[in-house]
A and B are shown apart, each in its own frame.
Chain A
Amino acid sequence: MGHLLPATLAFFTPQSGGSPNANQIDSLFKVTLYIALVIFIAVEGGLAYTLVRFRARKGAVAAQIRGNTRLEVGWTVAAAVILLALAVLTFAKLSSIQDPANSSPNGDKLAGSSGLLYASAERKLPPNGKSLNITVIGRQYIWQFVYPGASEPDGLGAPYSYEQMVVPTNTTITLDIVSEDVVHSWWIPQLGGKFQAVPGYHNYTWFEVEKPGLYRGQCAVLCGRGHARMIATVKAVPPAQFDAWLAHQKQLIAEANVQAKIARAKLNAQTGAGQVENP
């Protein structure tokens, strides 16, 4: 329905264009907006007309009307019907917004191979079960993104990045959103809705980016003095480039771990064995 919207009103819609779920929210918003605009114009217009038309004039006598049951029942039912229609539309669109779709054929081949093996009531996976699952960790005041591919059984050794999440295009990305301290909220407007990161809970969402590019967002729940600067960006790159980036990231982390091991050994030698542990 987007093409029906006059250009002057286009600024009154949510951000979209990055991911199908954001586009679906946008189209649901537009339908709601059209309905709301009709009601807005009718009621505000009716109010203004009434105020002007029935202002006190010489000789005018106010009609002593106390009500009209039929009219009142009528508009109550009309209001309920409009809202019922809106509810039906929302529920019809819901699955296209919250259920992840399969990756496009030209998406990353990694998806699914190292992604999640199961779905739960809250965690939704695409129909074919294949997605790139990234854990989004909120902490004051930085976002961390942990990719699949842990080298150790306790989850250590997985590639990660801060602030900027790099993702392959045309690939379904599912997110596990968690927090390590206070409540944060993950939100990249062009890639769909926001979801709170609450300590002790997992929250889930998904997106799939078609066009390579940079998508900007920031924490949406007050998380302290640095809240305004808790920025997140999603950088969508072609799958091959993503694989290269991930491998590079893995290598950098492995190298850093080696360096850290050497430094720890050195420190332990200086201060006595076992004083400096792996954090």
Chain B
Amino acid sequence: MATMLAPVPQVVTHRAEREARGWTSWITTTDHKRIGIMYMVTTFVFFCLGGVEALMMRLQLGAPNNTLVTPQTYNQLFTMHGTTMVFLFVVPMMAGLANYFVPLMVGARDMAFPRLNALSFWLLLAGGIVFYTSVFWNPPEAGWTSVVPLANSQYSPSGGEDAWIYLAHLTGVSSILGAINFYATIANMRARGMSWGRLPLFVWTILTYSVLIIFAMPVIAAAVTMLLADRHFGTHFFDAANGGSAILWQHLFWFFGHPEVYIMVLPGFGLISEILPVFARKPIFGYKAIAASTVAIAFLGFLTWAHHMFTAPLPEAILVFVLISSYLIAVPTGVKVLNWIATLWRGTIEFRTPLIFCAGGIALFLIGGLSGVFLATFPIDWQVNETYFVVAHLHFVLMGGAVFTIFAGIYYWFPKITGRMLSEGLGKLSFYLMFLGVLTTFLLQHVMGLDGMPRRIYEYDNVGHLELYNLISTVGSFILASGVLVTIVNVARSLKVGVVAGPDPWRANTLEWFTTSPPPANNFDTIPRVRSAEPMKDIRREIERRSTIAPASGAIVPAGATQVGV
């Protein structure tokens, strides 16, 4: 050979249809990758809206007896914030990541039901629009848990509460359809050789996420339908004066609401389990234990809902049962954290942004996990429930388990989605600001709660050090927001000027890195046979082996080519 072939990866596509362009191609697409991108962009917009609502609340609370917003506006803000982050950001963002990457990771060319997939996205968007148009009239103000009787028409006559109900319905149907689609895809469309024991751990968590959604979402759908009927059609499901029960609402809501927590954090756990081994250059420690603990958490997650109701009039037997089930669920969760640390142990850890976000996420999640033990101990819960202690707890859980892992996923997969790398410098800056921001905002909130500050209050008297704590927390929230802003700048900038990534910039383990960045419409021309839980590692090894013998045999196989190992 006169000229050596450059070691660039290449995928040759045959008879591929020309890629559709223009905005109509987006609204008519059934391509899981485009739907995934639409999911991610939409939910990130909602994340920013929810963030702005949080900043407005923190501004109001920055000083005692502040009058920046009215009590009504404040109640609307936290209702919008909580609802947005749960229904319109974390859950659908995970669906977006899964939409893009589950088919790629299992070696499929699309989701099982592509048109259903598009419907899932459009229902989500409809839910978001229905909910946010209430801003122009009267947004809901009964909290994201819409506790009755406050959410009944007698006490919340405005249509905002109905907007909340329709949001729960539309995003619920969207999630259920998406979950069925994920389940069908994972169960039926895996590459040859990808047995359950070789399924990437992110896919394991999406499988579990889907099962949780299929069981939990119909319950909230039923509950909000009953609320709608109570509000408008004269039924009395939750009306004590007419034989109904306000506690029934709490049971139904939290029977959905607690599994919802795992719906939000399990995919994040999956992201950590994918990303750590790549940057530690080590296999995941205890693959089976992590997969099994995911399933165990999902099962136990359905038995712990009443720990949100420890202060409600419940029989003591329920309190005892739920304390035990909540303690039990701490075991598989703790095991995961130890498995992750063991994965890093004796590795060669490369401090790239995705790894740092994962490590930070674990550190934050641990704080939320430990405060969860206090909340599961019901006599302690009697003191700390419904206070800023809970606000701190849930934000550490969701920041660590969901937000930081989602950011890790964004930094990890951005090269695959766009073909360009995000800036490492901006990425690290974003991480450090966000990490510092979370600690500054939420650590002292534990103390505020212990000092007697309930959540969902628009003003407080300066008792003890509440003014100082709240001020620090407000400053922290802006540090956190600036960190998010840096990532937004990073994404906008890197779309144009980011370093071209190539198919496998991280030397990762799973099949999405087998194809080009971004992948073609059909994902793979040839789907490799999977021989382990880390197929790309096998493929790279095979390429290295062949490229060393290639000159002798005369068959030229460029290093990094993706045609081998088939």
The interface of chain A, by Cβ under 8 A from chain B, is 11-15, 22, 24-25, 28-29, 32-33, 36, 39-40, 43-44, 46-47, 50-51, 54-57, 60-68, 71-72, 75-76, 79-80, 83-84, 86-87, 90-91, 93-94, 97-98, 121-122, 140, 181-183, 185, 187, 189, 192-196, 198-203, 216-229
Residues 460-481 of chain B: 1 if any A CB is under 8 Å from the residue's CB, otherwise 0?
Answer: 1001000000000000000000
Which one, B172-180, B218-226, B343-351, B483-491, is touching chain A? B343-351
Query: Is the Cβ of B149 less than 8 Å from the Cβ of A199?
Result: yes
| Chain A: minimal CB distance from B247 (Å) | 6
Instruction: Tell me if B150 is interfacial: C-beta within 8 Å of chain A.
Output: yes
Query: Is the Cβ of A40 less than 8 Å from the Cβ of B366?
Result: yes
**CB under 8 Å from chain A, chain B span 368-408:** 370-371, 373-374, 377-387
B residues in contact with A201, CB < 8 Å: 240, 246-247, 312-313
Question: If the complex has contacts A183-B246, A199-B246, A200-B240, are A47 and B313 also in contact, measured as CB distance less than 8 A?
Answer: no
Query: Is the Cβ of A98 less than 8 Å from the Cβ of B379?
Result: yes
In-complex Cβ contact of B241 among A36, A51, A200 (8 A): A200
| Chain A: minimal CB distance from B538 (Å) | 13
| Chain B: minimal CB distance from A195 (Å) | 5
A residues in contact with B283, CB < 8 Å: 64-66
Query: Is the Cβ of B447 less than 8 Å from the Cβ of A12?
Result: yes
Query: Is the Cβ of B282 less than 8 Å from the Cβ of A29?
Result: no
| Chain A: minimal CB distance from B368 (Å) | 11
Query: Is the Cβ of A228 less than 8 Å from the Cβ of B383?
Result: no
CA distance A189 to B342 in the complex (A): 41
CA distance A160 to B339 in the complex (A): 59
Query: Is the Cβ of B313 less than 8 Å from the Cβ of A122?
Result: yes
Query: Is the Cβ of A203 less than 8 Å from the Cβ of B312?
Result: yes
Question: If the complex has contacts A13-B450, A76-B335, are A50 and B287 also in contact, measured as CB distance less than 8 A?
Answer: no
Most A Cβ at <10 Å: residue of B315, B339, B452: B452
**CB-nearest residue of chain A relative to B147?**
A183
Question: If the complex has contacts A43-B341, A98-B379, A220-B454, are A122 and B286 also in contact, measured as CB distance less than 8 A?
Answer: no
The interface of chain B, by Cβ under 8 A from chain A, is 71-72, 75, 141-143, 147-150, 155, 240-241, 245-247, 280-289, 311-313, 315-316, 320, 323-324, 327-328, 330-331, 334-335, 337-339, 341-342, 344-351, 359, 362-363, 366-367, 370-371, 373-374, 377-387, 446-447, 450-452, 454-460, 463
| Chain A: minimal CB distance from B348 (Å) | 4
Query: Is the Cβ of A216 less than 8 Å from the Cβ of B75?
Result: no
Query: Is the Cβ of B142 less than 8 Å from the Cβ of A54?
Result: no
CA distance A28 to B381 in the complex (A): 11
Query: Is the Cβ of A227 less than 8 Å from the Cβ of B456?
Result: yes
Query: Is the Cβ of B383 less than 8 Å from the Cβ of A15?
Result: yes
**CB-nearest residue of chain B relative to A74?**
B338
Give 25 A-B contacts (CB < 8 Å), ordered by A residue: A14-B450, A32-B373, A47-B344, A47-B362, A55-B351, A63-B347, A64-B283, A65-B282, A65-B283, A72-B286, A76-B335, A79-B334, A86-B377, A182-B147, A189-B383, A193-B382, A194-B311, A194-B385, A198-B313, A199-B241, A199-B246, A201-B312, A225-B141, A227-B456, A228-B459
**CB-nearest residue of chain A relative to B346?**
A63
B residues in contact with A196, CB < 8 Å: 311-313
**CB-nearest residue of chain A relative to B142?**
A222
Query: Is the Cβ of B313 less than 8 Å from the Cβ of A202?
Result: yes
Most B Cβ at <10 Å: residue of A71, A80, A200, A229: A200
Query: Is the Cβ of B335 less than 8 Å from the Cβ of A79?
Result: yes
Query: Is the Cβ of A65 less than 8 Å from the Cβ of B285?
Result: yes
A residues in contact with B382, CB < 8 Å: 25, 192-195
CA distance A76 to B296 in the complex (A): 13
Most B Cβ at <10 Å: residue of A64, A67, A76: A67
